[in-house]
Structure 1
């Protein structure tokens, strides 16, 4: 093996010889190249991984260089994860100190051991941020939804908003608002760049001026964005209290044709759910890499007996990593929508990019075409 390689990740699968179980045991074996003077943590997209909290799930220390973690999982469970030293400033990194991307796998049908070698960590310095906020933004801090955690809201105002006091504007509402406009608040230092994108499209006379409302997620993101009790509270407040807040404080065009909701992954799912459940409020939804079907959850089965809604859906997906796992759900949703009367390229749009990953950077690349479907200039 090349001694210059500082990152080795490989999986060894052990097929059980005994009676089959509905669960599989997944064991992480972690080896460090250099001892550390702190605990080591695993974090990821599932509640048992701390829901992306960097210091909730501590690894068991075997000795100075070896750690382990075990969990019993359902087969075909979608897992994304990282390792930290208890703070996002100190993440597992490559030999140059650059943080890893998300590690990912789908839990198999048999017991599995995952071996990970960590050779380096980020140094604790402030990570380099690419980009900045373009234009004017305002904030609502600690917006309260009864029964849920408070969250911040960022509102991006179009170029003419402050100088043209009579003009009213359509509104795009976005989930995971911390990742949409400001790279400093984005989870991984890369935002969707919707501010730069919309500004450029407006300057090129390809897009109407719009207001963008980014609603931050919380530690309860999975519940808020899912078909859960908290999710129902979130969607109701999003369609009523939040919309009233924005329509009251800003010069909006409030009708449904000028009100669109957007998000990615679980945010893509909840965007669809909002348009489906509140078609009188939203004219459509942008659903990027949507989690329509994953593990034991299948939203298509939940809505299969519902009538067609008068909304326009944009749905897309990449072809690598997590997006590859989500593709069967996208296929099933498209098939269902067509079966109840949606027409491709009229009120249902599908984009597939087999080279794209499940990431803010890839969603940002697809965003320009998506937003122009709803707010593109009609007279060009």
Structure 2
């Protein structure tokens, strides 16, 4: 979800020993625990990093040390509060290269409870292949239509380059369609949408398949999908209250003009849409609310509405009790914001399991706000709950066609 927000390494340091006196009124010092984590990795593995819930889930902030005489054994020694539940994963420096099992699927978070002298060892079977080595063989993944990759796209608004995936529907290049122009959907997390080999969880959204089902059934017209990949600054870049404005400038002022120049697109706002999940859902909402001159509709999948200062503190390994727990979207509502522009259409969905279990109350408050503004349900906005659905690509894959239908067919999707 938001594990890639900020690379913040939190170190616990024991106070110096000495002849100091402690007053009875002073708090009792916390107990600390020395913990050792060992990863046994395949021969020839490069630098290995430990990403944890104590370093903001940064994939490259905490390098492990080769154990003397055993280059395939990597060690991390941590000083933690006694009893702290540490969650962690192993990477080669990015989430695109995290540790996997024998089937090539990412490992679940490892968890330990800190106790002094604890040592745990993990046998790592391998790491995800460098996605760059798979881009030229996208056809091997069974992708329908045509997939084009723009690599390391630069921006004057963003610090990091990023890849961009461009999906063209079947028939786009045929002579009989050379005069046809297409709507465009701009999506987040482009690495997760089409190819399971490079998707973060080993499961892609199946956007190409969902598009084909809708097109072949006549439910909605063909469209082009343009999706920029996420970076290690995903949470910060997707947050409407942080750097979403910079990412929006990249999409609106740099990416869209290039897409419109190189492909046969319908360039007007009525045929330009935004879509994303979790933090990406908040970003899609932002694009329509703040840039309605460019985007007319959005699909906001499992949007992380509880996002707040306290959430950021927690993921940075800081004490969330010192931060404001009020979700940012509620603060916007209280300030008179979060309004749907004229002619815009917004679809919010959520599940009820895992992280999505937090979302029903927040979406209920969002609906109350929209109703209070006089917006029409099913026209200006729409909300749908998917009971039992979790917060992951596998769940989003099963219902993404509903979001596509809302944008491209311009109506409530079947099912209710």
TM-score normalised over the length of structure 2: 0.69
Structure with the higher helix share, 1 or 2: 2
Query: Distance between the aligned counterparts of 1:172 and 1:26, measured in 2?
Result: 51
Query: Distance between the aligned counterparts of 1:154 and 1:222, measured in 2?
Result: 20
1:82 CA drift (Å)? 2.6
The number of residue pairs the alignment matches comes to 344
Deviations 1:214-236 (A, max 9, x none): 11112221221113553211112
Structure with the higher strand share, 1 or 2: 1
Are the counterparts in 2 of residues 275 and 284 from structure 1 also a CA contact under 8 Å?
yes
Give the equivalent residue in structure 1 for 2:349.
316
Query: Distance between the aligned counterparts of 1:369 and 1:225, measured in 2?
Result: 23
Query: Distance between the aligned counterparts of 1:68 and 1:357, measured in 2?
Result: 34
Query: Distance between the aligned counterparts of 1:34 and 1:81, measured in 2?
Result: 15
Quickly say closer, same or farther: Cα 1:121–1:372, change in 2 above 3 A.
Answer: same
Query: Distance between the aligned counterparts of 2:260 and 2:53, measured in 1?
Result: 34
Are the counterparts in 2 of residues 266 and 291 from structure 1 also a CA contact under 8 Å?
yes
Are the counterparts in 1 of residues 352 and 359 from structure 2 also a CA contact under 8 Å?
no
Give the equivalent residue in structure 2 for 1:5.
none
Give the equivalent residue in structure 2 for 1:211.
224
1:144 CA drift (Å)? 1.9
Give the equivalent residue in structure 2 for 1:12.
none
Query: Distance between the aligned counterparts of 1:184 and 1:92, measured in 2?
Result: 12
Correspondence 1:249 to 2:262: yes
Give the equivalent residue in structure 2 for 1:161.
172
1:239 CA drift (Å)? 2.2
Query: Distance between the aligned counterparts of 1:259 and 1:122, measured in 2?
Result: 43
Correspondence 1:133 to 2:138: no
TM-score normalised over the length of structure 1: 0.75
Quickly say closer, same or farther: Cα 1:40–1:142, change in 2 above 3 A.
Answer: closer
Give the equivalent residue in structure 2 for 1:76.
none
Query: Distance between the aligned counterparts of 2:286 and 2:100, measured in 1?
Result: 36
1:171 CA drift (Å)? 0.7
Are the counterparts in 2 of residues 44 and 82 from structure 1 also a CA contact under 8 Å?
yes
Correspondence 1:144 to 2:154: yes
Are the counterparts in 2 of residues 144 and 150 from structure 1 also a CA contact under 8 Å?
yes
Structure (1 or 2) with the larger CA radius of gyration: 2
The answer for unaligned runs of 5 or more in structure 2 is 1-25, 68-72, 131-137, 312-326
Quickly say closer, same or farther: Cα 1:377–1:352, change in 2 above 3 A.
Answer: closer
Quickly say closer, same or farther: Cα 1:308–1:268, change in 2 above 3 A.
Answer: closer
**C-alpha RMSD over aligned residues:** 4.1
The answer for unaligned runs of 5 or more in structure 1 is 1-17, 73-78, 106-111
Give the equivalent residue in structure 2 for 1:49.
57
Structure 1 segment 338-357 matched on structure 2, within 5 A = 338-357=371-390
Please state whether the residue corresponding to 1:49 is helix, strand or coil.
coil
Quickly say closer, same or farther: Cα 1:176–1:65, change in 2 above 3 A.
Answer: closer
Query: Distance between the aligned counterparts of 1:123 and 1:91, measured in 2?
Result: 6
Correspondence 1:370 to 2:403: yes
Give the equivalent residue in structure 2 for 1:82.
89
Query: Distance between the aligned counterparts of 1:325 and 1:116, measured in 2?
Result: 34
Are the counterparts in 1 of residues 188 and 230 from structure 2 also a CA contact under 8 Å?
yes
Deviations 1:175-206 (A, max 9, x none): 11111122233222221110121122212222
Please state whether the residue corresponding to 2:89 is helix, strand or coil.
strand
1:254 CA drift (Å)? 1.7
1:287 CA drift (Å)? 0.8
1:341 CA drift (Å)? 2.3
